[in-house]
Amino acid sequence: MVSSVGIRGVALYLPPVVRSNDWWPRDVVAQWQSATRAAPDRPLTAGEALVAAAMREQAADPFQGAVSRHVMPDGMTVLDMAEQAGLLALSRAGAARGDIDLLLTNTILPDVLMGNPACEIHHRLGLPRRCFALETSAATYSFLMQLSLAHAMIASGQARLALLVQCCAPSSSIDIDDPISPLFGDGASAAVVGRVSDGHGMLAAIHHCDGRFPDTLVASVRGGTWSDPGRGVIHVANPIQMRDVFLATADVCKEGIDAVLASSARTTTDVGFFAMHQGTPWIRRVVQRHAGLEHARSTDSFAQTGYLFACTVPAALALAERAGLLADDDLVLATSGGPGITFGSIAMQWGA
């Protein structure tokens, strides 16, 4: 993999309204029961045992570690957030709109179906007509997929600069009575990818797929499809599949981490910063421990932002830069996964 293509600027946009846990009625919270399921009737792997212990610890908290989350005010749309994130990333990278040749977007719960949100984001940002604009759909794993696609097009000379945008607006599609409803927040992130100086940029990428678990976290009419009569909401379609995916989290993430370190000829001790997908408050800590990365710097956002879907990894990078936890020449290891399921890791030497 050509190592001179990397992230030149990354940004996070969170809408102004903060929804705290007291937004949920007390009688509703009192009815919630832990979503933790009994472990399967078989010996657990070392990774599964770590996950099971973390889930048991979290079971007593009806909000599952979320304290607050940002939500869109009335009148704001998911593409409004995408536009703001894109502008912030362009500014961070010092990039001109006219130099963007590739736009890759991911929109969790867009305002309408059957459209291409990339086209409207392209128009709002004033990107050039020649720009390749594509909505990518790898669920919460989309950012790492976008990075690989952008790398391929830039390394092959088909694009100079790419803008990657991720946005999610789940707050309008939750069932307030569902115990998972406090987990989600609205937000958008973006990154500018392009040529970087020698010794920096992406070193290796590993992407895996396992299609045995299609019915974990979905947005549809309960028990049906999006087009069936009734209101479509975010929910867990198959709790057993969800339990099994959660239990496997540490092991599958370690699989991707080990593979990408081997591919990039690096070891765990080389990793300076670990950016982890955060669908729960414990997932980063458990995976980091299981993969032998406890020495690496990291940041957590789940308690203050909730689950931000594909925004979680770029959010970790943006927040780490803001906090001074991410420096030039750091070996960054980013790990993520998404419903379906897809999972994997990317190794990159930070800096432009």
What is the C-alpha to C-alpha distance for residues 17 and 313, in angstroms, rounded to an integer?
Answer: 22
> Which are the contacts of 165, defined by CB distance < 8 A and separation ≥ 6?
82, 85, 86, 89, 103, 104, 105, 106, 121, 188, 189, 190
- Domains of the chain are 201-349 (3.40.47.10)
Whether residue 277 contacts residue 134, with contact meaning beta carbons closer than 8 Å, is answered with no
> Which are the contacts of 221, defined by CB distance < 8 A and separation ≥ 6?
228, 229, 230, 231, 232, 233
Whether residue 177 contacts residue 203, with contact meaning beta carbons closer than 8 Å, is answered with no
Convert the pLDDT of each residue in 31-68 to its tens digit.
Answer: 986 444 566 778 999 999 999 999 999 888 999 999 99
pLDDT of residue 26: 93
Q: Give average pLDDT by consecutive 10-residue segment, the chain, 352 residues.
A: 83 98 95 64 92 91 96 96 98 97 95 90 98 95 98 96 97 94 97 96 96 93 93 94 93 97 98 95 96 97 96 97 96 95 96 90
pLDDT of residue 267: 98
E strand or H helix at 320 = helix 312-323
Whether residue 274 contacts residue 285, with contact meaning beta carbons closer than 8 Å, is answered with no
